[in-house]
Amino acid sequence: MGGTKDFGDSLVEEVLTDVAESFFGARKELDDLNELFMAYVDRLQDAARQVEIVAGRLNHILAGGDLRRKFYRMLEVEKAAPYLQCQFIPDDRRIPVPFSLTDRGRFIKLTIQLYADLQRATEAYTRGPVEADDGTGEPPVYYNLVRSMCELINEKVCIVRNGMSPACVLQYAKKFDAQHAQQARVTGGTVGAYAHMDSKFECQPIDFDQLDLVQFPELPKSDDVKSDIIAFCKKHYPAIRADLPVLLAQLRR
């Protein structure tokens, strides 16, 4: 009888070990993925700040909120608020001002240059850089990648949650413990007795919309709208002519 009991105990231990490794292994994998995901979220938020700095430079040269709104309407950019609300940082690095014989020429060339910078920055933020290696040795992080990571993690969460809940795991384990199984039959313990554990230990999906990540609207390629930008600048130059020398000086600091 002793040998049979030892064999049974060994079998129970093996089964419980397999159940624990399966359940907690899946949980550990999700925890690791969540940790990596949140690190990517932090890096993406830093990248958003860089796009906002570039947008702030363009906003600076397009003095006045009304002119900025007209600029993005001219480009047919819907929901341009993420760009419009960006502020110029006076202590930012010096911005090279293109050479021209006239202030109007400098205004036109600089607007084209700053818009091209913004379009490239937005493209890299949303879809990833043209070159995967940016010299930092770290993999690129961009908006579409982080969204895809969120969807993948949530799919894995659903698989784990639909597979076996914490309460079911504990109830399953109890079945292999003769003493606890007998106690459960006497006291009427069922899986419902452990249901409260689900809310504490169950994996939760990520609410992407609550991450406060900026989604910048897509901008047309600078070459495709260069002539439109030139026409816009020529039309509205008289409205900023008096302020332009000061604006340019602030960029050169």
Tens digits of per-residue pLDDT, 96-121?
888 889 999 999 999 999 999 999 99
What angle, rounded to 10 degrees, do the helices at 166-174 and 2-61 form? 170
Number of domains in the chain: 1
Question: For position 3, what pLDDT does the model report?
Answer: 53
Residue 86 banded pLDDT, cuts 50, 70, 90: very high
Is residue 143 assigned to a domain? yes
Is residue 46 assigned to a domain? yes
Is residue 13 assigned to a domain? no
Q: What angle do CA 50, 53, 55 make, to 5 degrees?
A: 110
Least confident of 63-72, 179-188, 200-209, 212-221: 179-188
Read off the tokens for 225: 């709208």
Q: Which domain holds residue 122?
A: 42-149+214-252
Q: Which of 78, 209, 83, 215 is nearest to 142 (CA)?
A: 215
What does the chain look like in DSSP terms, one character per residue?
Answer: -HHHHHHHHHHHHHHHHHHHHHHHHHHHHHHHHHHHHHHHHHHHHHHHHHHHHHHHHHHHHS-SHHHHHHHHHHTT-SS-HHHHT----TTSPPPPPPP-SSHHHHHHHHHHHHHHHHHHHHHHHHH--SSS--SSSSPP--HHHHHHHHHHHHHHHHHHHHH--HHHHHHHHHTT-HHHHHHHHHHT--GGGGTHHHHHHS-----GGGG----PPP---HHHHHHHHHHHHHHHHHHHTTTHHHHHHHHH-
Higher pLDDT, 196 or 47: 47
Is residue 83 assigned to a domain? yes
Question: For position 160, what pLDDT does the model report?
Answer: 77
Question: For position 156, what pLDDT does the model report?
Answer: 86
Is residue 200 assigned to a domain? no
Higher pLDDT, 204 or 46: 46
Distance (Å, whole) CA 177 – CA 16: 9
The type of residue at 153 is: I
Average pLDDT over residues 43-51: 96
Question: For position 73, what pLDDT does the model report?
Answer: 97
Residue 130 banded pLDDT, cuts 50, 70, 90: confident
Give 10-31 pLDDT, tens digit per residue.
544 554 455 445 555 667 788 8
Question: For position 12, what pLDDT does the model report?
Answer: 47
Tell me, yes or no, if the pTM score tops 0.85.
Answer: no
Q: Say if CB 221 and CB 75 are below 8 A apart.
A: no
Q: Which of 87, 79, 38 is nearest to 215 (CA)?
A: 79
The yes-or-no verdict on residue 5 having pLDDT over 70 is no
Is residue 100 assigned to a domain? yes
Q: Which of 127, 133, 129, 130 is nearest to 146 (CA)?
A: 127
Residue in the block written with tokens 């895809």: 148
Is residue 84 assigned to a domain? yes
Distances (CA, A) of 1 to 4, 8, 141, 157: 5, 10, 62, 44
Question: For position 2, what pLDDT does the model report?
Answer: 54
Give 142-178 pLDDT, tens digit per residue.
999 999 999 999 998 888 777 655 555 555 445 545 5
